[in-house]
């Protein structure tokens, strides 16, 4: 089973990096779910939550406001201005 290589960065630090099974990002025109072997995509993000879901089902969630996401051959790069940790995060 293929996995996603996720790098989640803000302008001054790396928030999250590693492997994940699924990533959900809030694009400006609606939420996008990213799975392995997705078509190369570049999207502008709006306001909402970035969810990174691991193989064992654990979820990392961050609230973001504006940014971009790029997907290319299972490498996911999320760049935002600021990522805020949510209370529900474990």
Partner 1 sequence: MGAQQREYKQRIGSAQGMKKIFKAKEMVAATRIAKAHARVLATTPYADALTQAIGAVATHSQEAEHPFLQADRAQSGRVAILLITADRGMTGSYSHNAIRNAEELANTLREEGKTPVLYVVGRKGEAYFRFRNRPPHRSWAPYSEDTLGSLGQEIARDLTGDLLSEDPASHLDELYLVGTRFLSRFKQVVRASRLVPMQLVDGQNHDSGSFPLYEFAPDAETTLQELIPRYVQSRIVNLLMQSMASEHAATQRAMQSATDNAQTQIDKFTRLANTARQAEITQEITEIVGGADSLSGSGRTER
Judged by the rule CB under 8 A, the positions of this chain that interact with partner 1 are 7, 9-14, 27-29, 32, 39-44, 66, 68, 70, 72, 77, 79
Query: Minimum CB separation from partner 1 for residue 88, in Å?
Result: 26
The least CB distance from residue 82 to partner 1, in Å, is 10
Q: For partner 1, which is the closer residue by CB, 60 or 76?
A: 76
Nearer to partner 1, 3 or 77 (CB): 77
Query: Which three-class secondary structure state does DSSP give residue 56?
Result: coil
Nearer to partner 1, 17 or 55 (CB): 17
CB crowding 41-77: b at 16 or more within 10 Å, else e = eebebbebebbbbeeeeeebbbebeebebebeebebb
């Amino acid at each position: 089973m293929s996995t996603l290589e996720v790098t989640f960065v803000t302008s001054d630090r790396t928030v999250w990096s590693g492997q994940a099974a699924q990533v959900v990002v809030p694009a400006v025109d609606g939420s996008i779910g990213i799975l392995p072997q997705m078509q190369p995509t570049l999207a502008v993000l709006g306001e909402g939550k970035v969810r990174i879901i691991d193989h064992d089902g654990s979820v990392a969630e961050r609230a973001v406001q504006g940014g971009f996401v790029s997907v290319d051959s299972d490498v996911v790069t999320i760049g935002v201005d600021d990522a805020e940790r949510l209370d529900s995060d474990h």
